[in-house]
Amino acid sequence: MKSYRKELWFEVPTRRAFINITPEVEACLGESGIKEGLVLVNAMHITASVFINDDEPGLHHDYDVWLEKLAPHEPVSRYHHNVGEDNADAHMKRQIMGREVVLAVTDGRLDLGPWEQIFYGEFDGRRKKRALIKIIGE
């Protein structure tokens, strides 16, 4: 069995963003030489997420509005975690959107369904963060 590991780095200038990382994951799969196996992609920060869905701007807007209703950023005083920080809402948004995705690899390609894309979700940007890509297989 072969193994491949790479970190993707992000420095999002805004507090929140959704970044399509499917091309980067596909490039890593090509570099790995693995034809059959699994790909793990996970956010390595507790205020960021990795998830799979459609790459459609209206959906991303709806996610942003929905997440802000569920865990509003302000007033920051509502959260006990916000002692010296203002990102308690980002922790909650990450919990909702998830930490990671695992995808099957078949014949050297990601097994994604129609319209499915891989996203890095940022909920407390404005600093460097990373996501891990780990690929195992033959």
**Which phi and psi angles does 55 have, rounded to 5°?**
-90, 75
Tell me the average pLDDT across 54-69.
Answer: 97
Q: State both tokens at 54.
A: 């459609």
pLDDT at 75: 92
Per-residue pLDDT tens for 83-124?
Answer: 778 999 999 999 999 999 999 999 999 999 999 999 999 999
CATH number at residue 131: 2.60.120.460
- Residues 96/71, Cβ–Cβ less than 8 Å: yes
pLDDT at 83: 75
pLDDT at 82: 79
Per-residue pLDDT tens for 62-71?
Answer: 999 999 999 9
What residues make up the domain containing 23?
A: 2-137
Continuous segment of H or E residues that includes residue 41: strand 37-43
pLDDT at 40: 98
Q: What is the pTM of this model?
A: 0.95
Per the structure, how many domains does the chain have? Answer: 1
